[in-house]
Amino acid sequence: MGKGRIKLGMLGGGKGAFIGIAHRIAAYMGERYELVGGAFDSDYDKALEFASDLQLDASRVYPDTETLIKKENLLPESERIEVVSIVTPNFLHFDMAKKLLEGGFHVVCEKPMTMTSAEAEILADLVKSSGKQLCLTHTYTGYPMVRQMKTMIAAGEVGTIQRVDVQYYQGWINPLIHDEKLRKSIWRLDPKRAGISSCMGDIGVHGFNLVEYTTGIEITAVLSDLNTLYKDNTLDVDGTVLLRLAGGAKGVLRSSQIATGEENNIMIMVYGDKGALKWQQENPNELTLLKENHPLQILKPGHSYNAQFTKDSTKMPPGHPEGIFDAMGNLYRGMAKAVRGEKLENGEFPTVQDGVRGMHFIEKVVKSNKDGNVWITI
């Protein structure tokens, strides 16, 4: 384990790829990473040009994952890339993550981690056996007020949970789905490239993750009602999932990509016998606390009343709104602490286990719907 900045590599994220920019900014934010190379583009010439824009040494630009692994491992440990961020198309994630872990690298992986739960389990085993870290960018867990929500629930602030309600509504597939040609042309609805689910696989799973993250309780069974809207479309674009949590609490997960006009409307509400907490992603710096016979309370970042974990997840005084890059930056910061063996708070970044659970969720939700809206145990 080295000192100083962590050497960072990247797979994908070449010119114009906004997800690559997001990961780089997140890495820069904590001033703990130094981007030194990667395999940025399947077109090697473009990769070289892009690397030159970033002022990177051409010798650290690789044509593919295998070469990166081989060549970096020839470098002295102090110069070698330690963490590699995977920001390629989804179907490549598993293979890349597998090779990187086997090759001795820590991995930051965009969501979804894999295409199947079987693959996810393989990665989980590999993380265990390799001793390397894997950070899955369920970015919403990096928001300070989501962390405050988790901390408060853990501290018993809302008591025993008796209802959970999570929503993830987007509308972006609506303008594409009503024309047959158009809907056949988008990768998100192509099972070969997108896997077995569109709505639940891409965004519903974030809702699932937020429930487990904030409550600290596992979802044990699901009953789903999915909608593909057209018969010739095989992947869900909308759905509702009844939830059963360990301990018996009930809940519901609602998700749609055809909620026309919605942008990225994630919301979570957790009701316990002592109070309730609510959070919305599009207004991420407010956490609402409901208590019987008390005024509604709105907590915000930067205040002394927040938990230490929350305070550490913000960089500015109250009233200076931070956003989604800052949330992702918090995940990268957590990963840096893990890589350097520093003490971590519970929940500083989503791990391979979150990826495993997410893939199980997706598969079980699809199965429940296929089997006629029946309960399936996770």
Question: Which residues within the stretch 98-117 sit at the binding site for a second copy (CB under 8 A)?
Answer: none
- Residues in contact with a second copy, counted by CB under 8 A, come to a total of 88
Contact residue for a second copy among 119, 212, 326, 354 (CB under 8 A): 326
319 binds a second copy (CB under 8 A): yes
Contact residue for a second copy among 116, 227, 233, 234 (CB under 8 A): 227
For residue 144, list its beta bridge partners: none
230 binds a second copy (CB under 8 A): no
Contact residue for a second copy among 85, 90, 209, 256 (CB under 8 A): 256
77 binds a second copy (CB under 8 A): no
Q: Distance between CA 69 and CA 99 in Å, rounded?
A: 8
The secondary structure of 8-75 as a DSSP string is EEEEE--TT-HHHHHHHHHHHHTT-EEEEEEE--SSHHHHHHHHHHTT--GGGB-SSHHHHHHHHHHS
Q: Which two tokens stand for residue 358?
A: 């997410």
Name the residue among 262, 264, 239, 257 with its Cα closest to residue 362: 239
Binding region for a second copy (CB under 8 A) out of 68-76, 79-87, 170-178, 206-214: 170-178
Contact residue for a second copy among 68, 259, 331, 339 (CB under 8 A): 259
156 binds a second copy (CB under 8 A): no
Q: Is the separation of the CB atoms in 24 and 83 below 8 Å? A: no
Radius of gyration of the chain (CA): 21
Contact residue for a second copy among 15, 46, 128, 178 (CB under 8 A): 178
Q: Is the separation of the CB atoms in 94 and 119 below 8 Å? A: yes
192 versus 293: smaller Cβ distance to a second copy: 293
Site for a second copy in 266-295 (CB under 8 A): 269, 271-276, 281-285, 289-295
Contact residue for a second copy among 71, 80, 98, 163 (CB under 8 A): 163
165 binds a second copy (CB under 8 A): yes
Q: Distance between CA 365 and CA 359 in Å, rounded?
A: 10
Binding region for a second copy (CB under 8 A) out of 109-117, 184-192, 245-253, 350-358: 245-253
Cα angle for residues 90, 341, 127 (degrees, 5° grid): 35
Q: Which two tokens stand for residue 1?
A: 């384990």
